C-alpha cells in the first residue's frame, strides 16, 4: 500500500520526460505534493480545490515550494516559476540586456562576468519557459497545454522572445535597453506605448531646455528678470499652443518690454 494513499503519482507518459522536474525541466530528485502533506487533512475536510498528486521535482523547486500552501498543481507550477524568476532576476536582466555581439566589444574581465550572467540567464529562461509534460495519474492521462506568449510586437515587427524584441526596439528607436524595459513595464507591457512615452518625455525635456536657454538670452539682452520672462512666455504658450518659443518671446517684447521702454523715454 502506498505511504500516502490519498495521493497519486504523476507519471510522465513519454520516456524522455522520466526523472524530469515537472516545474522547470531539470533532473528530478524529490517529490512535491499538491496539496502539501501538512495541509492534507485541511483539504480533505474542507473540499477545497486540490489535485492530490505526487510530483517529480528538482531540489531547487522542491525547496521553493515548501512555502507554498496551494493544493492545485497549476498554482504550484506558477509559484515555483515566480520563485525562480526572483532568485535569478539579476541573471535574467543580463540575458535581456546583452547580446553575444555586444559582449565581444568588452574587455576580458567585464566580458567574463557578463558571459557568466548570460549563460545563467539563458538557463533560467529555459527553465521558466519549460511547459511541463504529459502525464498519467490515477489511471487518467493528462495533456499539458501551457502556452507561452505568442509574440512581442514592435510597430508591426513581431518577435518570439522579449529579449529579441527589446534588442530590436532599443536599436531601432535609439533608446537604452534599461530605460525601455522600465517604460515597457510601466506602460501596460507594450513596446509601442513605451517608445511613445520615452520620445514624448525626451521631447518635453528638450523643449524645457530650449525654453530656459532662450529665456535667459532674452532676459540678458533686454535687462529683465529671468523668472519674469520665463513665466510670461509660459503663460503665452499655455494660452496659445500654436506659438513657438521665439514667437512667444516676440509677443512679450511687443506687449511688455517695448512699451515699457518707450514710456521711460
User: pLDDT digits over 209-238, tens only?
Assistant: 999 999 999 999 999 999 999 999 999 999
Q: Write the pLDDT tens digit of every residue in 93-140.
A: 999 999 888 888 788 778 888 899 999 999 999 999 999 999 999 899
* pLDDT, position 150: 64
* pLDDT, position 101: 82
* pLDDT, position 112: 84
The total of other beta-carbon atoms located within 10 Å of residue 144's CB is 15
* pLDDT, position 146: 66
DSSP symbols for 179-229: HHHHHHHHTTT-HHHHHHHHHHHHHHHHHHHHHHHHHHHHHHHTT--HHHH
Dist. CA 136–CA 1, nearest whole Å: 19
Q: Are 30 and 59 in contact (CB under 8 A)?
A: yes
* pLDDT, position 148: 58
Nine-digit cell string for 142: 493528462
Is the pLDDT score of 149 beyond 80? Answer: no
* pLDDT, position 1: 42
* pLDDT, position 104: 80
Q: What is the CA radius of gyration of the chain?
A: 30
Distance of alpha carbon 26 from its chain centroid, rounded? 25
Q: Are 84 and 64 in contact (CB under 8 A)?
A: yes
Q: Write the pLDDT tens digit of every residue in 183-214.
A: 999 999 999 999 999 999 999 999 999 999 99
Q: Write the pLDDT tens digit of every residue in 16-42.
A: 999 999 999 999 999 999 999 999 999
* pLDDT, position 163: 93
* pLDDT, position 3: 75
Tallying the residues shown for the chain, one arrives at: 265
* pLDDT, position 147: 61
* Among 10-14, 112-116, 158-162, the range of highest mean pLDDT: 10-14
Query: What average pLDDT score do residues 83-102 get?
Result: 92
Is the pLDDT score of 57 beyond 60? Answer: yes
Statement: the pTM of the whole predicted model exceeds 0.75: no
Q: Are 54 and 4 in contact (CB under 8 A)?
A: yes
Amino acid at each position: 500500500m502506498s505511504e500516502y494513499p490519498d495521493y497519486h503519482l504523476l507519471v510522465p507518459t513519454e520516456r524522455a520526460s522520466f526523472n524530469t522536474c515537472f516545474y522547470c525541466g531539470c533532473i528530478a530528485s524529490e517529490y512535491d505534493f499538491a496539496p502539501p502533506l501538512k495541509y492534507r487533512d485541511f483539504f480533505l475536510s474542507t473540499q477545497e480545490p486540490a489535485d492530490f498528486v505526487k510530483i517529480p521535482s528538482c531540489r531547487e523547486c522542491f525547496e521553493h515550494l515548501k512555502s507554498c500552501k496551494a493544493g492545485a498543481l497549476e498554482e504550484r507550477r506558477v509559484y515555483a516559476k515566480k520563485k525562480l524568476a526572483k532568485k535569478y532576476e539579476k541573471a535574467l536582466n543580463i540575458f535581456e540586456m546583452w547580446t553575444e555581439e555586444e559582449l565581444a566589444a568588452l574587455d576580458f574581465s567585464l566580458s567574463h562576468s557578463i558571459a557568466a550572467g548570460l549563460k545563467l540567464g539563458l538557463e533560467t529562461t529555459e527553465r521558466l519557459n519549460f511547459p511541463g509534460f504529459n502525464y498519467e495519474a490515477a489511471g487518467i492521462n493528462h495533456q499539458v497545454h501551457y502556452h507561452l506568449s505568442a509574440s512581442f510586437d514592435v510597430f508591426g515587427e513581431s518577435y518570439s522572445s522579449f529579449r529579441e524584441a527589446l534588442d530590436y526596439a532599443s536599436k531601432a528607436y535609439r533608446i537604452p535597453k534599461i530605460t525601455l524595459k522600465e517604460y515597457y513595464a510601466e506602460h501596460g507591457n507594450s513596446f509601442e506605448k513605451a517608445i511613445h512615452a520615452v520620445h514624448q518625455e525626451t521631447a518635453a525635456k528638450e523643449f524645457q531646455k530650449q525654453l530656459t536657454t532662450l529665456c535667459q538670452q532674452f532676459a540678458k539682452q533686454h535687462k529683465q528678470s529671468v523668472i519674469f520672462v520665463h513665466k510670461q512666455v509660459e503663460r503665452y504658450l499655455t494660452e496659445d499652443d500654436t506659438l513657438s518659443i521665439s514667437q512667444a518671446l516676440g509677443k512679450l517684447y511687443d506687449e511688455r518690454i517695448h512699451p515699457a521702454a518707450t514710456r521711460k523715454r
